[in-house]
């Protein structure tokens, strides 16, 4: 039952900056996902909130209480680790009840709360087993159960699904989401997997090199990435990125995507580009698709030979080259494709992203 606030949080290891001046307000009951490549500072942030890592400067509040100087045990947060960290010498039941036993909670109460957790997670038949006798998914559940039993102010998840195989990961993802709806608590979740981030989060924070790159709902960060990094990090396959010269012809602005391949600039953006010679264009693969017609004003059409086709069933991903860069297009009505075949592509001009070629930030 608490919000978590970070104020100007910084963590340095010697001269190496892990987290830089981070400001963040996490309201009660939010499912917040920290995502980013390894070494971006997301785990360090989580561990600072848990109290496992010292803070170099800044402040952390949990439920409006400053916890900088508090030991992990006094912060009333629960953490679920990547490798589960179940106590191997205790049974499932003992694992679940351990934190309450340490807190000297009344035995009946322990019994009651362990029972609740067991029911929520469907661990009934496993209570007497030791962790070594459990499968990966079961261990994961026990690890979550251990966190639930404590009734913490906030749950901290550190890449909890990355040790599971793909199928189980999808299943556990759903369970975590349901759990959040059931428990109504703040969850701070760290992952490097953008799919996990998209599917779980109320709000995503994309981090890189200790800085927050962007904060927003999954749809927001997907549709309006603030810079090239976020644009390529979120979404699969990653957004196509092309450097383009700006060419002015007949009072109109064009982007030169390849030799003699000129894409018109949407009029809404034209005024922003008067000073620029060069930009970075980002187009998601679903916004470049094969088309039979070439008449609509909202689209720009070009023809290109196919380098490679990867059929996925519901869609086929087509690989073409522009300026020697590989571009992926999605074909939603798959048919047999021959390599080298020339296809007419349509680009949705309203959906293209234009980034500054120096700052890599969105131009708008």
Partner 1 sequence: MNRKFLSSPIILILPSILAIGFVIIIPLIFSFYTSFTSYKLTRPDSLYNFVGLRNYERLIDNVKFWKAFGRTILFLAIVLNLELLFGLGIALLINKITWGQRTLRTIMMFPMMFSPILVGFQWKYIFNDNIGLLNNFLYLFGYESAIPWLIGKKLAMGSIMAAEIWANTAIFSILLLAGLLGIPRDPIEAARVDGCNSWQVFKNITLPFLMPFIFIALTIRSLDVGRAYDIVHIMTGGGPAMRTELIWTMIARVGYKDANMGFANAMSYVSIILSIAFTYYFFTKLVAARRELGQQ
Partner 2 sequence: MKQIKKIGFWFLVLFILLLVCLPGIWIFVSAFRPNPEILSKPANWIPDRWTIFEFTQMFSIKGYVSVPAFKYLMNSIIISFFSTIIAITIGMMGGYAFARFNFKGKNKIFLGLMLARAVPGISLSLPLFILFAKLGIINTSIGVIIVYVAMNVPFTIWLTDGFFRQIPKEMSEVARTDGCTRFQAFWNIELPLAGPGIGAAAIFAFLLSWNEYALASVLTRTIESKTLPIGMMDYLDEFTINWAGMCAIAVVMIVPAIIITFMVQKHLVSGLTFGGVKG
List residues near partner 1 by CB under 8 A.
54, 68-71
- Written as one string, the DSSP assignment of 44-57 is HHHHHHHTSS--SE
Establish if 42 lies at the interface with partner 2 (CB under 8 A).
no
CB of 103 to partner 2, least distance (A): 5
Among 8, 57, 65, 83, binds partner 2 (CB under 8 A): 83
| Partner in contact with 85, chosen from partner 2, partner 1, none, beta carbon below 5 to 8 Å by kind | partner 2
Nearer to partner 1, 70 or 177 (CB): 70
CB of 54 to partner 1, least distance (A): 6
Q: Which residues sit opposite 246 in a β-bridge?
A: 255
Q: Which two tokens stand for residue 263?
A: 């894409």
Nearer to partner 1, 54 or 338 (CB): 54
36 φ, ψ (degrees, to nearest 5): 165, 170
Among 50, 148, 230, 231, binds partner 2 (CB under 8 A): 50
x-or-dash pattern for partner 2, window 88-127, by CB under 8 A? Answer: xx--------xx--xx------------------------
Nearer to partner 2, 61 or 81 (CB): 81
Torsion sign, CA atoms 329, 279, 205, 85 = positive
Nearer to partner 1, 60 or 234 (CB): 60
For the beta carbon of residue 303, count every other beta carbon within 10 angstroms: 11
Which region among 76-84, 211-219, 225-233, 340-348 touches partner 2 (by CB under 8 A)? 76-84
Residue that is written with structure tokens 């490549």 in the block: 37
Establish if 194 lies at the interface with partner 2 (CB under 8 A).
no
Contact present, 320 and 310 (Cβ < 8 Å): no
Alpha-carbon dihedral angle through residues 155, 126, 137, 89, given to the nearest 10 degrees: 70
- Strands 278-283 and 353-356 turn out to be antiparallel
CB of 47 to partner 2, least distance (A): 8
Closest CA to 5 of 154, 143, 108, 124: 154
Contact present, 80 and 156 (Cβ < 8 Å): yes
Establish if 362 lies at the interface with partner 2 (CB under 8 A).
no
- Residues lying near partner 2 in the complex (CB under 8 A) are found at 50-52, 71-73, 75, 77-79, 81-83, 85, 87-89, 98-99, 102-103, 146, 150, 156
């Amino acid at each position: 039952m608490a919000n978590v606030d970070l104020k100007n949080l910084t963590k340095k290891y010697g001269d190496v900056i892990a987290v830089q001046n981070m400001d963040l307000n996490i309201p009660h009951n939010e499912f917040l996902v920290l995502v980013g490549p390894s070494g971006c500072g997301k785990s360090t942030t989580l561990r600072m909130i848990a109290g496992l890592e010292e803070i170099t400067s800044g402040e952390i509040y949990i439920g409006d209480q400053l916890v900088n100087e508090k030991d992990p045990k006094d912060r009333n947060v629960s953490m679920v680790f990547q490798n589960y960290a179940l106590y191997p010498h205790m049974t499932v039941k003992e694992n679940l009840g351990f934190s309450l036993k340490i807190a000297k909670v009344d035995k009946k109460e322990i019994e009651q709360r362990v029972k609740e957790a067991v029911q929520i997670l469907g661990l009934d038949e496993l209570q007497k087993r030791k962790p070594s006798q459990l499968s990966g998914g079961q261990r994961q559940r026990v690890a979550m159960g251990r966190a639930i039993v404590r009734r913490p102010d906030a749950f901290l998840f550190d890449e909890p699904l990355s040790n599971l195989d793909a199928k189980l990961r999808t299943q556990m993802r759903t369970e975590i989401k349901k759990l959040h709806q059931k428990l109504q608590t703040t969850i701070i979740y760290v992952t490097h997997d953008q799919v996990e981030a998209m599917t779980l989060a109320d709000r995503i924070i994309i981090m890189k090199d200790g800085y927050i790159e962007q904060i927003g709902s999954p749809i927001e960060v997907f549709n309006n990435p603030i810079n090239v990094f976020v644009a390529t990090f979120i979404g699969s396959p990653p957004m196509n990125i092309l450097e383009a010269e700006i060419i002015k012809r007949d009072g109109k602005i064009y982007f030169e995507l390849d030799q003699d391949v000129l894409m018109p600039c949407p009029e809404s953006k034209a005024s922003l580009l008067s000073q620029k010679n060069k930009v970075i264009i980002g187009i998601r693969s679903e916004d470049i698709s094969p088309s039979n017609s070439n008449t609509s004003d909202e689209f720009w059409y070009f023809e290109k030979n196919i380098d490679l086709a990867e059929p996925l069933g519901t869609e086929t991903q087509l690989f073409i080259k522009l300026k020697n860069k590989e571009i992926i297009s999605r074909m939603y009505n798959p048919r047999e494709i021959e390599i080298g075949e020339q296809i007419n592509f349509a680009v949705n001009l309203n959906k293209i992203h234009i980034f500054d070629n120096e700052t890599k930030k969105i131009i708008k």
